[in-house]
Protein backbone atom coordinates (compact mmCIF):
# COMPACT_ATOMS: atom_id res chain seq x y z
CA UNK A 1 0.00 0.00 0.00
CA UNK A 2 1.19 3.49 -0.78
CA UNK A 3 2.31 5.24 2.38
CA UNK A 4 -0.23 7.68 3.81
CA UNK A 5 2.23 10.47 4.40
CA UNK A 6 0.37 13.69 3.59
CA UNK A 7 -2.06 15.49 5.87
CA UNK A 8 -4.25 18.41 4.84
CA UNK A 9 -5.64 20.42 7.72
CA UNK A 10 -8.35 23.06 7.48
CA UNK A 11 -9.95 24.82 10.44
CA UNK A 12 -13.75 24.73 10.64
CA UNK A 13 -15.56 28.03 9.95
CA UNK A 14 -12.37 29.67 11.13
CA UNK A 15 -13.14 33.38 11.76
CA UNK A 16 -16.65 32.58 13.00
CA UNK A 17 -15.36 29.86 15.34
CA UNK A 18 -12.82 32.27 16.84
CA UNK A 19 -15.63 34.76 17.45
CA UNK A 20 -17.74 32.05 19.04
CA UNK A 21 -14.85 31.03 21.25
CA UNK A 22 -14.14 34.62 22.33
CA UNK A 23 -17.83 35.36 23.01
CA UNK A 24 -19.27 32.19 24.56
CA UNK A 25 -22.74 33.73 24.84
CA UNK A 26 -22.92 33.57 21.02
CA UNK A 27 -22.53 29.78 20.96
CA UNK A 28 -25.22 28.03 18.93
CA UNK A 29 -26.41 31.24 17.28
CA UNK A 30 -25.91 31.95 13.56
CA UNK A 31 -22.72 34.04 13.35
CA UNK A 32 -21.72 35.88 10.20
CA UNK A 33 -18.32 37.55 10.00
CA UNK A 34 -17.68 40.43 7.63
CA UNK A 35 -21.18 41.64 6.93
CA UNK A 36 -20.40 44.79 8.87
CA UNK A 37 -17.11 45.58 7.09
CA UNK A 38 -16.16 47.82 4.20
CA UNK A 39 -17.18 45.83 1.14
CA UNK A 40 -20.24 44.43 2.80
CA UNK A 41 -19.31 40.86 1.92
CA UNK A 42 -19.49 37.77 4.12
CA UNK A 43 -15.98 36.40 4.80
CA UNK A 44 -17.36 33.32 6.51
CA UNK A 45 -20.12 32.14 8.83
CA UNK A 46 -20.55 29.32 11.32
CA UNK A 47 -22.31 26.08 10.47
CA UNK A 48 -25.50 27.30 12.19
CA UNK A 49 -25.67 30.24 9.75
CA UNK A 50 -24.91 27.93 6.80
CA UNK A 51 -28.26 26.23 7.42
CA UNK A 52 -29.86 29.43 6.10
CA UNK A 53 -27.89 29.22 2.86
CA UNK A 54 -25.33 31.85 3.83
CA UNK A 55 -21.77 31.37 2.52
CA UNK A 56 -18.43 33.13 2.00
CA UNK A 57 -18.37 35.98 -0.55
CA UNK A 58 -22.13 36.49 -0.37
CA UNK A 59 -23.18 40.17 -0.22
CA UNK A 60 -24.10 41.08 3.35
CA UNK A 61 -27.55 42.39 2.42
CA UNK A 62 -28.44 38.99 1.03
CA UNK A 63 -27.21 37.26 4.18
CA UNK A 64 -29.35 39.60 6.28
CA UNK A 65 -32.36 38.74 4.19
CA UNK A 66 -31.75 35.01 4.62
CA UNK A 67 -31.17 35.31 8.36
CA UNK A 68 -32.39 38.60 9.88
CA UNK A 69 -31.70 37.44 13.45
CA UNK A 70 -28.11 36.43 12.62
CA UNK A 71 -25.24 37.98 14.57
CA UNK A 72 -23.17 40.07 12.15
CA UNK A 73 -19.64 40.79 13.34
CA UNK A 74 -16.75 42.84 11.93
CA UNK A 75 -13.55 41.11 10.79
CA UNK A 76 -10.87 41.07 13.53
CA UNK A 77 -7.92 40.03 11.43
CA UNK A 78 -5.26 40.52 14.13
CA UNK A 79 -7.08 38.21 16.49
CA UNK A 80 -7.51 35.48 13.85
CA UNK A 81 -3.83 35.80 13.05
CA UNK A 82 -2.92 35.40 16.70
CA UNK A 83 -5.00 32.22 16.95
CA UNK A 84 -3.56 30.98 13.64
CA UNK A 85 -0.03 31.34 14.99
CA UNK A 86 -0.93 29.29 18.00
CA UNK A 87 -2.37 26.56 15.77
CA UNK A 88 0.62 26.52 13.43
CA UNK A 89 3.00 26.29 16.38
CA UNK A 90 1.22 23.04 17.24
CA UNK A 91 1.72 21.77 13.67
CA UNK A 92 5.44 22.51 13.97
CA UNK A 93 5.58 20.45 17.16
CA UNK A 94 4.88 17.41 14.98
CA UNK A 95 7.12 18.18 12.01
CA UNK A 96 8.93 21.06 10.34
CA UNK A 97 7.59 19.91 6.97
CA UNK A 98 4.62 22.25 7.09
CA UNK A 99 3.28 24.14 4.07
CA UNK A 100 1.12 27.03 5.22
CA UNK A 101 -1.51 27.50 2.53
CA UNK A 102 -3.54 30.20 4.22
CA UNK A 103 -4.41 31.49 7.66
CA UNK A 104 -6.37 28.34 8.51
CA UNK A 105 -4.99 25.71 6.17
CA UNK A 106 -1.79 23.67 5.86
CA UNK A 107 -0.25 20.54 4.43
CA UNK A 108 2.00 18.38 6.60
CA UNK A 109 4.43 15.79 5.28
CA UNK A 110 4.69 13.12 7.96
CA UNK A 111 6.91 10.67 6.02
CA UNK A 112 9.68 10.95 8.59
CA UNK A 113 7.47 10.17 11.57
CA UNK A 114 7.13 6.71 13.04
CA UNK A 115 3.53 7.08 14.13
CA UNK A 116 0.26 5.86 12.59
CA UNK A 117 -1.26 8.75 10.59
CA UNK A 118 -4.66 8.35 12.25
CA UNK A 119 -3.14 8.48 15.74
CA UNK A 120 -1.16 11.54 14.80
CA UNK A 121 -4.26 13.21 13.38
CA UNK A 122 -6.26 12.48 16.54
CA UNK A 123 -3.45 13.79 18.72
CA UNK A 124 -3.17 16.95 16.63
CA UNK A 125 -6.92 17.60 16.78
CA UNK A 126 -6.84 17.16 20.54
CA UNK A 127 -3.90 19.53 21.02
CA UNK A 128 -5.47 22.26 18.90
CA UNK A 129 -8.79 21.87 20.69
CA UNK A 130 -7.14 22.11 24.10
CA UNK A 131 -5.08 25.16 23.15
CA UNK A 132 -7.78 27.11 21.31
CA UNK A 133 -11.18 25.48 21.79
CA UNK A 134 -11.42 25.13 18.00
CA UNK A 135 -12.12 22.14 15.78
CA UNK A 136 -10.57 21.31 12.44
CA UNK A 137 -10.87 18.79 9.65
CA UNK A 138 -8.04 16.54 8.53
CA UNK A 139 -7.56 14.64 5.32
CA UNK A 140 -5.00 11.84 5.19
CA UNK A 141 -3.66 10.41 1.97
CA UNK A 142 -0.53 9.84 -0.09
CA UNK A 143 -0.57 13.10 -2.05
CA UNK A 144 -1.71 16.71 -1.70
CA UNK A 145 -4.64 16.52 -4.07
CA UNK A 146 -6.22 13.56 -2.30
CA UNK A 147 -5.42 14.86 1.20
CA UNK A 148 -7.22 18.12 0.40
CA UNK A 149 -10.18 16.28 -1.02
CA UNK A 150 -10.27 14.17 2.14
CA UNK A 151 -10.20 17.10 4.58
CA UNK A 152 -13.30 18.48 2.91
CA UNK A 153 -15.09 15.14 3.04
CA UNK A 154 -16.93 15.39 6.34
CA UNK A 155 -16.51 18.89 7.70
CA UNK A 156 -16.81 20.11 10.43
CA UNK A 157 -14.57 18.25 12.88
CA UNK A 158 -13.92 15.64 10.22
CA UNK A 159 -11.28 13.07 9.56
CA UNK A 160 -11.01 11.03 6.37
CA UNK A 161 -8.45 8.69 4.90
CA UNK A 162 -8.19 8.10 1.17
CA UNK A 163 -6.14 5.04 0.22
CA UNK A 164 -5.14 4.01 -3.27
CA UNK A 165 -7.78 1.29 -3.58
CA UNK A 166 -10.54 3.77 -2.74
CA UNK A 167 -9.73 5.87 -5.80
CA UNK A 168 -12.38 4.52 -8.22
CA UNK A 169 -15.14 4.47 -5.64
CA UNK A 170 -14.38 8.00 -4.39
CA UNK A 171 -13.25 9.79 -7.51
CA UNK A 172 -15.42 8.52 -10.35
CA UNK A 173 -18.80 9.86 -9.16
CA UNK A 174 -17.34 13.12 -7.86
CA UNK A 175 -18.46 16.47 -9.28
CA UNK A 176 -15.63 18.04 -11.29
CA UNK A 177 -16.02 21.22 -9.18
CA UNK A 178 -14.37 19.29 -6.35
CA UNK A 179 -11.12 18.99 -8.31
CA UNK A 180 -8.61 21.46 -6.93
CA UNK A 181 -7.65 23.50 -10.01
CA UNK A 182 -11.07 23.40 -11.67
CA UNK A 183 -12.75 26.72 -10.87
CA UNK A 184 -16.34 27.70 -11.68
CA UNK A 185 -15.45 28.91 -15.21
CA UNK A 186 -13.51 25.80 -16.13
CA UNK A 187 -16.30 23.67 -14.69
CA UNK A 188 -18.82 25.53 -16.84
CA UNK A 189 -16.75 24.96 -19.98
CA UNK A 190 -16.60 21.25 -19.20
CA UNK A 191 -20.33 21.08 -18.41
CA UNK A 192 -20.93 22.61 -21.84
CA UNK A 193 -19.40 19.55 -23.45
CA UNK A 194 -21.29 17.13 -21.21
CA UNK A 195 -18.62 16.56 -18.56
CA UNK A 196 -20.01 16.61 -15.02
CA UNK A 197 -18.18 13.99 -12.99
CA UNK A 198 -14.59 12.89 -12.73
CA UNK A 199 -15.73 9.69 -14.43
CA UNK A 200 -16.80 11.76 -17.45
CA UNK A 201 -13.55 13.70 -17.32
CA UNK A 202 -11.52 10.49 -17.40
CA UNK A 203 -12.87 9.73 -20.85
CA UNK A 204 -10.92 12.69 -22.22
CA UNK A 205 -7.43 12.26 -23.64
CA UNK A 206 -4.50 14.01 -22.00
CA UNK A 207 -3.77 16.06 -25.12
CA UNK A 208 -7.39 17.18 -25.37
CA UNK A 209 -7.23 18.58 -21.84
CA UNK A 210 -3.91 20.26 -22.62
CA UNK A 211 -5.43 21.89 -25.71
CA UNK A 212 -8.33 23.08 -23.59
CA UNK A 213 -6.51 24.30 -20.47
CA UNK A 214 -2.79 24.33 -21.19
CA UNK A 215 -0.43 23.13 -18.47
CA UNK A 216 -3.28 22.94 -15.96
CA UNK A 217 -4.98 20.45 -18.28
CA UNK A 218 -2.09 18.04 -17.86
CA UNK A 219 -2.14 18.44 -14.08
CA UNK A 220 -5.87 17.77 -14.00
CA UNK A 221 -5.41 14.68 -16.18
CA UNK A 222 -3.07 13.15 -13.61
CA UNK A 223 -4.78 14.40 -10.46
CA UNK A 224 -8.08 12.74 -11.28
CA UNK A 225 -6.15 9.49 -11.62
CA UNK A 226 -4.88 9.96 -8.09
CA UNK A 227 -1.43 11.11 -9.26
CA UNK A 228 0.03 14.30 -7.83
CA UNK A 229 3.72 14.59 -7.04
CA UNK A 230 3.82 18.16 -5.77
CA UNK A 231 5.99 18.17 -2.63
CA UNK A 232 4.91 19.82 0.60
CA UNK A 233 6.62 23.14 0.08
CA UNK A 234 7.72 24.76 3.34
CA UNK A 235 8.95 27.90 1.60
CA UNK A 236 6.08 28.45 -0.78
CA UNK A 237 6.04 32.10 -1.75
CA UNK A 238 4.03 34.60 -3.67
CA UNK A 239 5.95 37.21 -5.61
CA UNK A 240 3.78 40.22 -4.91
CA UNK A 241 0.42 41.33 -3.72
CA UNK A 242 -1.39 44.56 -4.45
CA UNK A 243 -4.45 46.51 -5.32
CA UNK A 244 -5.31 49.40 -7.63
CA UNK A 245 -8.33 51.31 -8.79
CA UNK A 246 -9.40 53.52 -11.66
CA UNK A 247 -10.91 56.68 -10.19
CA UNK A 248 -14.44 57.69 -11.06
CA UNK A 249 -13.01 61.08 -12.10
CA UNK A 250 -9.42 62.10 -12.96
CA UNK A 251 -7.91 64.17 -10.17
CA UNK A 252 -4.99 66.30 -8.89
CA UNK A 253 -6.21 66.12 -5.33
CA UNK A 254 -3.38 64.65 -3.23
CA UNK A 255 -5.59 64.36 -0.19
CA UNK A 256 -8.07 62.23 -2.10
CA UNK A 257 -5.28 60.09 -3.56
CA UNK A 258 -3.90 59.53 -0.07
CA UNK A 259 -7.31 58.46 1.13
CA UNK A 260 -7.17 55.73 -1.53
CA UNK A 261 -3.67 54.76 -0.41
CA UNK A 262 -4.98 54.46 3.12
CA UNK A 263 -7.80 52.17 2.05
CA UNK A 264 -5.41 50.04 -0.07
CA UNK A 265 -2.99 49.71 2.85
CA UNK A 266 -5.73 48.26 5.02
CA UNK A 267 -6.68 45.80 2.29
CA UNK A 268 -3.07 44.75 1.76
CA UNK A 269 -2.50 44.26 5.48
CA UNK A 270 -5.51 41.97 5.58
CA UNK A 271 -4.31 39.97 2.58
CA UNK A 272 -0.78 39.66 3.99
CA UNK A 273 -2.04 38.44 7.35
CA UNK A 274 -4.36 35.99 5.69
CA UNK A 275 -1.58 34.52 3.58
CA UNK A 276 1.05 34.49 6.33
CA UNK A 277 3.20 36.98 4.45
CA UNK A 278 5.28 40.09 4.98
CA UNK A 279 7.25 42.16 2.49
CA UNK A 280 10.13 44.57 2.04
CA UNK A 281 9.28 46.53 -1.13
CA UNK A 282 6.39 48.90 -1.64
CA UNK A 283 5.58 50.16 -5.15
CA UNK A 284 3.27 53.01 -5.98
CA UNK A 285 1.67 53.07 -9.40
CA UNK A 286 0.07 56.07 -11.02
CA UNK A 287 -1.63 56.27 -14.40
CA UNK A 288 -2.18 59.79 -15.71
CA UNK A 289 -5.15 61.03 -17.68
CA UNK A 290 -3.11 60.49 -20.88
CA UNK A 291 -2.60 56.83 -19.86
CA UNK A 292 1.15 57.29 -19.18
CA UNK A 293 2.14 55.09 -16.24
CA UNK A 294 4.67 55.92 -13.54
CA UNK A 295 5.84 53.61 -10.78
CA UNK A 296 8.06 54.31 -7.80
CA UNK A 297 9.39 51.79 -5.30
CA UNK A 298 11.14 51.74 -2.00
CA UNK A 299 12.77 48.73 -0.38
CA UNK A 300 13.25 48.55 3.36
CA UNK A 301 15.91 46.60 5.25
CA UNK A 302 13.17 44.93 7.31
CA UNK A 303 9.84 43.23 6.57
CA UNK A 304 6.54 44.99 7.10
CA UNK A 305 2.89 43.99 7.01
CA UNK A 306 1.05 46.66 9.03
CA UNK A 307 -1.27 49.02 7.14
CA UNK A 308 0.28 52.01 8.87
CA UNK A 309 3.79 51.16 7.60
CA UNK A 310 2.57 50.43 4.08
CA UNK A 311 0.61 53.68 4.03
CA UNK A 312 3.53 55.77 5.24
CA UNK A 313 5.80 54.40 2.56
CA UNK A 314 3.27 54.72 -0.27
CA UNK A 315 2.34 58.18 0.85
CA UNK A 316 5.97 59.35 0.87
CA UNK A 317 6.40 57.89 -2.63
CA UNK A 318 3.40 59.91 -3.77
CA UNK A 319 4.97 63.05 -2.26
CA UNK A 320 8.06 62.45 -4.38
CA UNK A 321 6.05 62.53 -7.60
CA UNK A 322 5.18 65.91 -9.02
CA UNK A 323 1.64 65.59 -10.29
CA UNK A 324 1.76 67.57 -13.51
CA UNK A 325 -1.27 65.91 -14.98
CA UNK A 326 -4.42 64.53 -13.49
CA UNK A 327 -4.40 60.96 -12.21
CA UNK A 328 -6.86 58.35 -13.48
CA UNK A 329 -5.57 55.27 -11.68
CA UNK A 330 -3.65 54.65 -8.46
CA UNK A 331 -2.38 51.46 -6.85
CA UNK A 332 0.02 49.92 -4.34
CA UNK A 333 1.93 46.65 -4.59
CA UNK A 334 4.03 44.99 -1.93
CA UNK A 335 6.73 42.58 -3.08
CA UNK A 336 9.89 40.86 -1.88
CA UNK A 337 7.54 38.75 0.19
CA UNK A 338 8.45 36.10 2.71
CA UNK A 339 6.51 33.79 4.97
CA UNK A 340 5.97 34.87 8.54
CA UNK A 341 6.22 31.20 9.48
CA UNK A 342 9.89 30.92 8.62
CA UNK A 343 10.73 32.70 11.87
CA UNK A 344 8.50 30.30 13.69
CA UNK A 345 10.21 27.41 11.95
CA UNK A 346 13.65 28.40 13.18
CA UNK A 347 12.14 28.94 16.60
CA UNK A 348 11.14 25.29 16.76
CA UNK A 349 14.25 23.81 15.17
Q: Is residue 48 a contact residue for ligand TTP (CB under 6 A)?
A: no
For residue 9, give the nearest of 158, 228, 230 by alpha carbon.
158
Binder of residue 15, out of ligand TTP, Mg ion, none (CB less than 5 to 8 A by kind): ligand TTP
105 catalytic, yes or no?
A: yes
Q: How many CB atoms lie within 10 A of CB 164?
A: 12
Q: Does residue 138 sit in helix, strand or coil?
A: strand
Return the residues of window 217-276 that contact ligand TTP according to CB under 6 A: none
By rule CB under 6 A, what count of residues binds ligand TTP? 15
Choice between 18 and 201, CB closer to ligand TTP: 18
Q: In what order do the strands lie in the sheet with 6-11?
A: 98-102, 105-109, 6-11, 136-141, 159-161
Of 19, 82, 105, 289, the active-site residue reads: 105
Residue 11 burial (C-beta neighbours within 10 Å; 0-12, 13-18, 19+): buried
Q: What are phi and psi of 229, to 5 degrees?
A: -105, 25
Q: Which residues bind Mg ion (CB under 5 A)?
A: 10-11, 14, 104
Binder of residue 36, out of ligand TTP, Mg ion, none (CB less than 5 to 8 A by kind): none
Q: How far apart are CA 199 and CA 178, in angstroms?
A: 13
Q: Is residue 314 a contact residue for ligand TTP (CB under 6 A)?
A: no
Binder of residue 177, out of ligand TTP, Mg ion, none (CB less than 5 to 8 A by kind): none
Q: Are strands 71-73 and 31-33 parallel, antiparallel or unpaired?
A: parallel
In angstroms, how far apart are the furthest CA atoms of the chain?
69
Q: Give the range of 99-107, 169-177, 218-226, 235-243 binding ligand TTP by CB under 6 A.
A: 99-107
Q: Give the range of 97-105, 119-127, 294-302, 329-337 binding ligand TTP by CB under 6 A.
A: 97-105
Q: Is residue 213 a contact residue for ligand TTP (CB under 6 A)?
A: no
Q: In this chain, which of 5, 7, 9, 14 binds ligand TTP, going by CB under 6 A? A: 14
Beta carbons of 111 and 248 less than 8 angstroms apart: no
Residues near ligand TTP, by CB under 6 A: 10-15, 43-44, 56-57, 103-105, 155-156
Catalytic residues: 105
Amino acid sequence: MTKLNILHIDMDAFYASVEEQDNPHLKGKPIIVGGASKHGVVTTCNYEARKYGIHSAMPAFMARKLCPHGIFLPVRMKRYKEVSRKIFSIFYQFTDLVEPVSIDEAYLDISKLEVKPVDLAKDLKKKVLEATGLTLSIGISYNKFLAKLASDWNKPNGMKIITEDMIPEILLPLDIKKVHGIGPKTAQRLNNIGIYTIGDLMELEEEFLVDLFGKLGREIYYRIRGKDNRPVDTKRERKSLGTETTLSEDTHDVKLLKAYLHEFSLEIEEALLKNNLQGKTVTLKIKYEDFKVRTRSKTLPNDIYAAQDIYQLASSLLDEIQLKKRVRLIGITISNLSSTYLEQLTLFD
